[in-house]
């Protein structure tokens, strides 16, 4: 199979976008093309490959086995070309460049603020974010589809370099009128009748919750899984139960007192934010600048925004531990 001489970078770019959206129409919208133009380019690519890359699934499309294989190679090719372009730009010494950063979903609550500050100091550097689960980000790092990733656990599964960026506390929250909202340093077993709302299997937050249950020899009366932090917060506000959740997802809810922090012994649970890149990845000047910025400023910015919520109130004389 010899299709390289007929392959175009434009076809690979269109293929990668269509594979991400699994929709020709949405790919056309992102690329400012018409759906027939996208379809034609992908048909030519399939003709060159000699295998179908997509198959129809209702109103959308799905990748075939050949498509799944090609998308990883296409991402690497486009990533190498982006790196080559950035390297040539770096030779000019100009304060310009582009960097792509992958975020686990919890990090999207604070990273835009850091980006805004960085952009003011480095207006020539274009930082692009994508949000995904841990598994998705690890694959993107290996595919050279992103330069850096921000996540909550060191990725031992891949050959990557991880540096601690900031502390990452997890807290127990309940609805605003929870009967233990004013109790201080009470045992988790006081919550033995509560429903615990947790993230889906495989998520980092779910793992932290399971470790907490094990450490406290605690079995919740009921566990309900939900697929996002936003859904969990809404469920807690509605009185469905309590949840262990990243403090960094709660700036608005704590400000408006829509949830309360439950002062359980052993909480907050301290974890760490890491900034990660592949060991084989040669970060270009823009990547080095952004990485250095995160390492220098993230901890201070997060502490300033959330430190007040980690200061425990002294037990009032007429209060009792429950």
CATH architecture of 4-72: Orthogonal Bundle (1.10)
pLDDT confidence of residue 92: 52
CATH architecture of 93-166+272-307: 3-Layer(aba) Sandwich (3.40)
Domain with CATH 3.40.190.10 in the chain: 93-166+272-307, 167-271
Lowest mean pLDDT among 64-68, 75-79, 318-322: 318-322
Q: pTM for the complete prediction?
A: 0.67
Banded pLDDT at 150 (limits 50, 70, 90): very high
pLDDT confidence of residue 311: 59
Lowest mean pLDDT among 146-155, 270-279, 303-312: 303-312
Once rounded to an integer, what is the mean pLDDT over residues 39-63?
A: 84
State the Cα–Cα distance between residues 286 and 306, nearest whole angstrom: 29
**Backbone phi, psi, residue 109, to 5°:** -80, -25
pLDDT greater than 60 at residue 138? yes
Sign of CA dihedral 186, 192, 195, 197: positive
Domain with CATH 1.10.10.10 in the chain: 4-72
CB within 8 A of 14, min separation 6: which ones?
A: 27, 31, 33, 38, 41, 42, 45
More confident residue, 110 or 308: 110
Homologous superfamily of 167-271 in CATH? Periplasmic binding protein-like II (3.40.190.10)
């Amino acid at each position: 199979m010899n299709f390289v001489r007929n392959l175009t970078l434009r076809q690979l770019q269109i293929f990668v976008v269509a594979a991400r959206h699994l929709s020709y129409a949405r790919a056309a919208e992102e690329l400012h093309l018409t759906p027939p133009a996208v379809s034609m380019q992908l048909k030519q690519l399939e003709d060159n490959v000699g295998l179908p890359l997509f198959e129809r699934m209702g109103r959308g499309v799905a990748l075939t086995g050949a498509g799944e294989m090609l998308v990883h190679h296409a991402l690497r090719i486009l990533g190498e070309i982006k790196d080559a372009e950035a390297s040539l730009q770096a030779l000019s010494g100009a304060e310009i460049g582009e960097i792509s950063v992958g975020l686990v979903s919890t990090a999207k609550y604070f990273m835009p603020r850091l980006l805004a500050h960085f952009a003011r100091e480095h207006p020539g550097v274009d930082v692009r974010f994508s949000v995904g689960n841990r598994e998705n980000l690890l694959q993107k790092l290996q595919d050279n589809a992103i330069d850096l990733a921000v996540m909550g656990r060191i990725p031992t599964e891949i050959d990557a370099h991880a540096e601690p960026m900031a502390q990452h506390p997890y807290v127990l929250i309940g609805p605003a009128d929870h009967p233990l909202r004013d109790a201080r340093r009470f045992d988790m077993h006081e919550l033995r009748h509560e429903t615990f709302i947790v993230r889906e299997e495989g998520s980092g937050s779910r793992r932290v919750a399971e470790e907490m249950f094990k450490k406290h020899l605690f079995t919740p009366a009921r566990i309900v899984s939900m697929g996002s932090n936003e859904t969990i917060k809404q469920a807690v506000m509605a009185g469905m139960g309590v949840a262990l959740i990243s403090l960094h997802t709660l700036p608005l809810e704590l400000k408006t007192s829509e949830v309360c922090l439950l002062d359980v012994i052993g909480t907050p649970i301290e974890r760490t934010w890491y900034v990660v890149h592949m060991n084989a990845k040669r970060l270009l000047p823009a990547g080095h600048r952004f990485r250095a910025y995160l390492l220098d400023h993230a901890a201070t910015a997060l502490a300033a925004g959330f430190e007040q919520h980690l200061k425990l109130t002294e037990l009032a004389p007429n209060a009792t531990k429950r």
